[in-house]
Amino acid sequence: MAQRCKARAGWASTPGLAVALCALLTSTGPAAAQPGASPAAPTPAAIAAANRVTWGVDQAALAAPPGQLFLAGNPPLPPVAQAQIDAMRITREPMVQIAQEMQAQSKAINAMPDPAARQTARQQWQQALGDLQREAATRSLLRDLYSPAQLQEQMTWFWCNHFSVFAGKREIRMLLGGYEDGLRARALGHFRDLLEASLRAPAMLQYLDNDQNAAGHINENYARELLELHSMGVGSGYSQTDVQELARILTGVGIRFEGDDPRLPPQLQRYYRRDGLMVFNPQRHDFGDKHFLGHIISGKGPNGGWGEVEQALNLIAASPATARHVSAQIAQYFMGDGVPPALVDRMAAAWQHSGGDIPTVLRLLFAAPEYRASLGKGFKDPVHYVVSAVRLAYDGRVILNTDPMLGWLGRMGEGLYGRETPDGYPLAAAAWTGPGQMEARFEIARAIGNGSAGLFKPRGANTTDQPAFPQLQNALYYNALATTLSPRARATLAQATSPQEWNMLFLASPDFMRR
């Protein structure tokens, strides 16, 4: 079975993960159909498994060979969706170029002698920043809706939330596209690489103020959150001294928007590093010895400077506390509340044995009996709810405007890049089950169920939405989804007086809100 799945899927970089997921889906589904026979309907367990590892079940997700759902890289999206992404500025221009152009414009605006003209130009500049943020959010939703690499897109959202940044701070809006690209490329790789990618990211350096961290003017914000949120976790054994020493290690790691490099004394030039907008400026670095996590990190010799940062990241990534903390978050993300500690222990052991290889950890999670027992019981956070509702309602028909989706997410308090605090959006169901939250979900269910909700009206167009309300009482429902509903949900749906009301009741049902 595993070999057949592997052959059909065309695995890229994660064959072990692919085989495990393939076995998970096929082992819970019906026997393989013989040539010429009608395909057997998927079982409720197979539907639940697919619903968990994708952004929501649709016809393509259930009809495709199981492995196709777990591709990595940049598989093509439907042409209409890909065309929207290709037209974006964040696609046409590298992030470095965008940021440098925006910074040059800002300086030019500040130099304008006419206050009225300066104010108008500043408003237009702010609008351009907002456009860049909307492009990044739109691209994220389009990939979630239509990418065949569904697991990669789920893990991209997880890492963007784990290494959370807030778009509203400083110029982060113009850095979001590049930030997500960096995490997405490593979403199914090694944690050590993710940790360094987030550290090198200008969005993170601005958000947690490490670009203001210099010898003699220490800023501990990033060092504290790196240990507390991104890796080891609060109460895991590191001390306030470790935070302070890590902040010293990180002095000089910052941003340079100018295209040229700073002038440095000859003895410091060999320590200088640049990666796009990220720079390590040795003039701002504390080269003294540091005592971090029980180790002495020397600022002298060939391993001083940026080498100190690399040593610190190695220690953090290799920590058993990091393995356990991040494994627990991954498990909760996929399973919901109440993850058994024994499962986290096994995931952490796999993490350490593999050197923080994320596919290895996921392979163990998806094969675990505790995971299978949790299928269909996890509560969807707002992003999962909105994306899964649109995926199901329009089943492959590409939307032309994500603004309604972005508005719904904002109303439910989970707007993309909208978390002001660095802890990321909560994974616990209690954060999303309050009366206001549920009322918003019912209104969204009504908006989708009664029509196209503006999703097919391009931004700025004078035309109206063409598609009528979705037909959720279709073959996918009768051949698959109906078997997953509780008797109470069936009884409620039977009382619907119109197809639109039926749609709303289905999308607002407790059954649909679980994954």
pLDDT of res. 42 = 81
pLDDT of res. 29 = 36
What is the Cβ-side half-sphere exposure of residue 152, based on CA atoms within 13 angstroms?
Answer: 28
pLDDT of res. 327 = 98
Q: Which of 378, 302, 368, 283 is nearest to 335 (CA)?
A: 378
DSSP secondary structure letter of residue 231: S
Residue 206: count other Cβ atoms within 10 Å of its Cβ: 21
What is the Cβ-side half-sphere exposure of residue 368, based on CA atoms within 13 angstroms?
Answer: 24
| Residue 205 and residue 243 in contact, taking contact as beta carbons nearer than 8 Å | no
DSSP secondary structure letter of residue 66: G
pLDDT of res. 34 = 43
173-203 tens-digit pLDDT: 999 999 999 999 999 999 999 999 999 999 9
287-342 tens-digit pLDDT: 999 999 999 999 988 899 999 999 999 999 999 999 999 999 999 999 999 999 99
Q: Please state, in angstroms and rounded to a whole number, the distance separating the CA atoms of residues 285 and 269.
A: 13
> Mind giving me the DSSP string for 147-168?
-SBHHHHHHHHHHHHHT---TT
pLDDT of res. 35 = 44
Q: Measure Cα distances from 99 to 89, 102, 103, 208, 259 in Å.
A: 12, 5, 6, 18, 11
pTM, entire model: 0.91
Q: Which of 320, 298, 321 is nearest to 310 (CA)?
A: 298
pLDDT of res. 64 = 64
One pLDDT digit (tens) per residue for the chain, 515 residues: 333 333 333 323 333 334 334 443 333 333 334 444 445 678 888 899 889 999 999 887 787 665 564 567 888 899 999 999 999 999 999 999 999 999 999 999 999 999 999 999 999 999 999 999 999 999 999 999 999 999 999 999 999 999 999 999 999 999 999 999 999 999 999 999 999 999 999 999 999 999 999 999 999 999 999 999 999 999 999 999 999 999 999 999 999 999 999 999 999 999 999 999 999 999 999 999 999 999 999 998 889 999 999 999 999 999 999 999 999 999 999 999 999 999 999 999 999 999 999 999 999 999 999 999 999 999 999 999 999 999 999 988 999 999 999 999 999 999 999 999 999 999 999 999 999 999 999 999 999 999 888 999 888 777 665 667 888 999 889 989 999 999 999 999 999 999 999 999 999 999 999 99
Domains of the chain, by residue range, sit at 2-33+40-69, 80-317, 319-374, 382-507
| Residue 249 and residue 292 in contact, taking contact as beta carbons nearer than 8 Å | yes
DSSP secondary structure letter of residue 227: I
Q: Are strands 290-292 and 278-280 parallel, antiparallel or unpaired?
A: unpaired
pLDDT of res. 121 = 97
Q: Please state, in angstroms and rounded to a whole number, the distance separating the CA atoms of residues 288 and 305.
A: 10
Q: Are strands 290-292 and 273-275 parallel, antiparallel or unpaired?
A: unpaired
pLDDT of res. 26 = 36
234-293 tens-digit pLDDT: 999 999 999 999 999 999 999 999 999 999 999 999 999 999 999 999 999 999 999 999
351's enclosing H/E stretch is: helix 341-354
pLDDT of res. 402 = 97
